[in-house]
Amino acid sequence: MSTQVLLDLKNVSKVFGSNHVLKQIDLQIERGKFITFLGPSGCGKTTLLRSIAGFYTIDEGEIKIDGQLVNDLPPYKRGTPMVFQEYALFPHMTVFDNVAYGLDIQKRPEAEVQERVKTAMAKVKLTGLEERYPHEMSGGQQQRVAMARALVMNSPIILLDEPLSNLDAKLREEVRVELRSIQQELGLTVIYVTHDQLEALSMSDSIVVFNKGAIDQYGTPHEIYYKPRTPYVADFIGTTNFVDATVREVTGGKAIVEYGASSRTASVTTDEAIVPGEKVLLSIRPESMRINAPEAGSFVVSGFVKSSMFLGEKERYFILDNNMKEWIVDAYDIGLTRFQGNVTIHASDDKIHLMKINQ
Ligand SMILES: Nc1ncnc2c1ncn2[C@@H]1O[C@H](COP(=O)(O)OP(=O)(O)O)[C@@H](O)[C@H]1O
Ligand SMILES: [Mg+2]
């Protein structure tokens, strides 16, 4: 095992009654990374976080932190404090008391508490604000207090479960930036839970995409967006157009695929292990398609414009093909040009993402 791996999960399963909530989770998280657990509500994110923290006992598998098996350790011996929604600050306590809270529970000596709180406050650049109350601080500062509260415990990993979900959109954005910069400044290892795709894409070093208690993909935001491993991931992150296709030829990194009722063929760039005759699914993002631009690539579909929507930086077109299948195509920077009536839409080899269907 690499020494960089801080959290190592092997075959982790958790069952509630007849509900198999976590299914054989294997996951390794490196030191100093910002990792996001992403998935819709009910897919097991909180259950895994609570299992890592020690609030739940897992039914199968191993959880190792820094090489040590922690399956049977209680939460306070694992060093993985959790921060819940709304920063979990106590409104009636001063910042100092909020930060000291975990140490007070452990009944640490007064001098040690003073020293450790001081150090944690300095790390998050809040020295001097110890006597304030949470409501006297900005959203960003409150997030720093919440982080100081975790830092004071000298924990190797900080677990954040949808900490921003109750904030309004503008504040959420401000606090996101704040949180990411504290994590980077201090080289912290953070696991962050969210169901918000944009939040995950914009903050993370890597994203773990959950699908009903299992991991569909673990990769960087760019990999998850541009090379989704499954249709579920492609659909959950952003918007895409799916196309059923059949492989006709495969030659070194390229495939010829047949698609649509009129059996057109297109060339696709891929490193998937596929064979002629195999059914595959193509995924093409709205921003990767061009309207009435044959030079844009070999993939082409004819249709007509059903409607369009002006979104400022782009115009989003809804186009129906001859089978009444709807395509979403975004046109950027086209000024006053408007596409209407019959159109063709096009995509190039490297903008078409090919996925195997049965894996
Ligand atoms: N303490 C519990 N007892 C029984 N079922 C639970 C418990 N906690 C979560 N679950 C169930 O486990 C599944 C996953 O829940 P959860 O981990 O909270 O998902 P998420 O955080 O992704 O929304 C859900 O079906 C939920 O009802
Ligand atoms: Mg949850």
pLDDT digits (tens, 9 = 90+) for 213-246: 999 999 999 999 999 999 999 999 989 999 999 9
Q: Whose CA is nearest to atom 12 of ligand 1?
A: 21
Q: How far apart are CA 259 and CA 322, in angstroms?
A: 13
Query: Is it the case that residue 38 has pLDDT exceeding 90?
Result: yes
CA of 42 to the centre of ligand 1 (A): 6
Q: Whose CA is nearest to atom 5 of ligand 1?
A: 16
Instruction: Tell me, yes or no, whether 17 and 91 share the same domain.
Output: yes
Band the pLDDT of 263: cuts 50, 70, 90.
confident
Predicted TM-score (pTM) of the model is: 0.87
Q: How far apart are CA 157 and CA 167, in angstroms?
A: 24
Of the residues 235, 270, 303, which one is the last residue of a structural domain? 235
Of the residues 181, 211, 235, which one is the last residue of a structural domain? 235
Q: Whose CA is nearest to atom 27 of ligand 1?
A: 42
* Closest ligand relative to 50 C-alpha: 1
- pLDDT at 1 (0 to 100): 47
Instruction: Tell me, yes or no, whether 26 and 110 share the same domain.
Output: yes
Count how many Cα atoms sit within 13 Å of the Cα of residue 199 in the half-sphere of its side chain: 25
Beta bridge partners of 355: 281
Query: Is it the case that residue 259 has pLDDT exceeding 60?
Result: yes
% residues pLDDT > 90 (the chain) = 69
- pLDDT at 359 (0 to 100): 57
Number of domains comprising the chain: 2
The average pLDDT across 312-336 equals 94
Ligand 1 pocket, residue 19 CB under 6 Å? yes
- 3-class secondary-structure state, position 339: coil
Looking at the CA of residue 44, tell me the nearest atom of ligand 1.
Answer: 17
Ligand 1 pocket, residue 243 CB under 6 Å? no
Ligand 1 pocket, residue 41 CB under 6 Å? yes
Ligand 1 pocket, residue 51 CB under 6 Å? no
Ligand 1 pocket, residue 45 CB under 6 Å? yes
- pLDDT at 140 (0 to 100): 77
Instruction: Tell me, yes or no, whether 144 and 174 share the same domain.
Output: yes
Instruction: Tell me, yes or no, whether 296 and 162 share the same domain.
Output: no
- 3-class secondary-structure state, position 168: coil
* Closest ligand relative to 213 C-alpha: 1
Q: Provide the mean pLDDT of the chain.
A: 91
Query: Is it the case that residue 336 has pLDDT exceeding 60?
Result: yes
Q: Which residues are within 5 Å of ligand 2 (an ion), measured at CB? A: 46
Looking at the CA of residue 161, tell me the nearest atom of ligand 1.
Answer: 21
Q: How far apart are CA 352 and CA 226, in angstroms?
A: 9
Least confident of 125-134, 170-179, 282-291, 309-318: 170-179
Beta bridge partners of 292: none
Ligand 1 pocket, residue 46 CB under 6 Å? yes
C-beta of residue 135 within 8 angstroms of C-beta of residue 86 = no
CA of 43 to the centre of ligand 2 (A): 8
Ligand 1 pocket, residue 195 CB under 6 Å? no
CA of 280 to the centre of ligand 1 (A): 33
The tokens 């529970």 sit on which residue? 105
Looking at the CA of residue 49, tell me the nearest atom of ligand 1.
Answer: 17
Instruction: Tell me, yes or no, whether 231 and 327 share the same domain.
Output: no
- pLDDT at 155 (0 to 100): 80
Ligand 1 pocket, residue 213 CB under 6 Å? no
Instruction: Tell me, yes or no, whether 333 and 190 share the same domain.
Output: no
The average pLDDT across 299-315 equals 95
Instruction: Tell me, yes or no, whether 11 and 101 share the same domain.
Output: yes
Instruction: Tell me, yes or no, whether 158 and 23 share the same domain.
Output: yes
Q: Whose CA is nearest to atom 21 of ligand 1?
A: 46
CA of 166 to the centre of ligand 2 (A): 13
- pLDDT at 82 (0 to 100): 66
Pocket test for ligand 1, best of 12, 37, 38, 47 (most atoms within 8 A of CB): 47
pLDDT in tens, 113-125: 999 999 999 988 8
Looking at the CA of residue 39, tell me the nearest atom of ligand 1.
Answer: 22
CATH number (domain holding residue 294): 2.40.50.140
* Closest ligand relative to 55 C-alpha: 1
Residue 326 lies in domain: 239-356
Band the pLDDT of 61: cuts 50, 70, 90.
very high
CATH number (domain holding residue 230): 3.40.50.300
The average pLDDT across 311-315 equals 93
Of the residues 211, 235, 259, which one is the last residue of a structural domain? 235
Instruction: Tell me, yes or no, whether 163 and 231 share the same domain.
Output: yes
The average pLDDT across 142-167 equals 83
Q: How far apart are CA 75 and CA 171, in angstroms?
A: 31
The average pLDDT across 288-300 equals 94
Query: Is it the case that residue 327 has pLDDT exceeding 70?
Result: yes
Instruction: Tell me, yes or no, whether 190 and 208 share the same domain.
Output: yes
Q: How far apart are CA 224 and CA 295, in angstroms?
A: 28
Instruction: Tell me, yes or no, whether 82 and 213 share the same domain.
Output: yes
Instruction: Tell me, yes or no, whether 231 and 246 share the same domain.
Output: no
Q: How far apart are CA 323 and CA 326, in angstroms?
A: 9
Ligand 1 pocket, residue 157 CB under 6 Å? no
Rounded to 10°, the helix 169-186/139-151 angle is: 40
